[in-house]
Amino acid sequence: MQAAVIGIGYWGPNLIRNFLASEKIDRVYVFDINKSRLDFVRKRFPLVTIADNIEQILNSDKIEMVAIATPVDTHFDTAKKALERNKHIWVEKPFTSSVEQAVILNQIAAERKLNIFVDHTFIYTGAVKKMKEIIDNNELGDLLYFDSVRINLGLFQSDVNVIWDLAPHDLSIMFYLMNKKPVAIAANGVANYYGHENIAHISVYFENNCFAHFHVNWTSPVKIRRMIAGGNKKMLVFDDMENSEKIKVYDSGIEMKEKEGIYHALVQYRIGDMYSPKLVHTEALALGVEEFINSIIEKRKPLTNGDDGLNVVKILEASDASIKQKGKLITL
């Protein structure tokens, strides 16, 4: 099998390295409109084939899969073309710039029986896989809330706000772990520097009093990447800044007591032991590439597919609408 990587920005070299490392990939083509990036690739990865232009890649019969790592507003055109030339596609997050675009791509892929892999890389980390296992084993009980913080002093993206840049990571994890359909969202925040928001808070409402919140910020002096999943049996914290013990499961919770005397005594909290499971350290991107290739071989949808990409883009689009109206509730 042959693969191509289009777009060599921050993430592109990682894609190249992992496609090269796969034993199922014989040859890797690369293209970027920026010549200096191609020079960099030529030096760093002497074994890749530099394409002259995108058409060379799209016209090749031998290239079965195309990875698109260009800016998000170009995803749709490139992805559409690639699907129409019968390529399976790998698209960086966020999947598309709009819900409409995502729906169209998913439709084309379905008609042509092609695979769309959306690079929600975190889904393939040892930490997220362990969280999924814990939640599916019902260790936490019913999930009551999900809280995510991803803040840092980071590079502003020129084309999107902080929500489109950072929240796809956390939203994709939320969908994977919670397996519930959100019903409405509200987003607040501020654009301190120019048109795009650098701070945002997204509240997501689910049925049955389940709630999620996402805090993203490009202008924090400290780097925090932490998620809390609160269940009615146990609670879990994932702190990605820890060198070890990234996941901690707390046998802690709230208990409602029967009514008696004063109401005050009805709600009590309980603190128990904590444990931190061992995590597998295989590189997430390597597992993602493996999943993409295997899904093609096995003729099945990959774990992080176009539907997952669409779900995330729905929230992103609704967040934009909400934040422009200072938190107006948007029903999904």
- Which residues inside 45-64 make contact with a copy of itself, applying CB under 8 A? 46-47
Query: Is residue 112 within 8 Å of residue 86, measured between CB atoms?
Result: yes
Torsion of CA 311, 312, 313, 314, to 10 degrees: 50
* Contact pick of 82, 91, 235, 313 for a copy of itself (by CB under 8 A): 235
Query: Is residue 304 within 8 Å of residue 172, measured between CB atoms?
Result: yes
Q: In whole angstroms, what is the distance from residue 43 CA to residue 131 CA?
A: 39
* Contact pick of 11, 38, 141, 245 for a copy of itself (by CB under 8 A): 245
Q: Which is nearer to a copy of itself, 61 or 273 (CB)?
A: 273
Q: In whole angstroms, what is the distance from residue 95 CA to residue 156 CA?
A: 19
Q: Which is nearer to a copy of itself, 119 or 197 (CB)?
A: 197
Q: Which is nearer to a copy of itself, 110 or 266 (CB)?
A: 266
329 binds a copy of itself (CB under 8 A): yes
DSSP 100-161: HHHHHHHHHHHHHT--EEEE-GGGGSHHHHHHHHHHHTTSS-SEEEEEEEEEEE-PPPSSS-
- Letters for 209-228 (x = contact with a copy of itself by CB under 8 A, - = none) are xxx-x-x-xxxxxxx----x
Q: Which is nearer to a copy of itself, 38 or 184 (CB)?
A: 184
Site stretch for a copy of itself (CB under 8 A), options 189-197, 288-296, 300-308, 313-321 = 189-197
194 binds a copy of itself (CB under 8 A): yes
Q: In whole angstroms, what is the distance from residue 135 CA to residue 126 CA?
A: 14
Q: Which is nearer to a copy of itself, 99 or 184 (CB)?
A: 184
Residues 69-108 that bind a copy of itself (CB under 8 A): none
Q: In whole angstroms, what is the distance from residue 133 CA to residue 138 CA?
A: 9
Q: In whole angstroms, what is the distance from residue 310 CA to residue 106 CA?
A: 8
Q: Which is nearer to a copy of itself, 47 or 299 (CB)?
A: 47
- Letters for 138-177 (x = contact with a copy of itself by CB under 8 A, - = none) are ------xx-x-----xxxxxx-------------------
* Contact pick of 39, 86, 136, 190 for a copy of itself (by CB under 8 A): 190
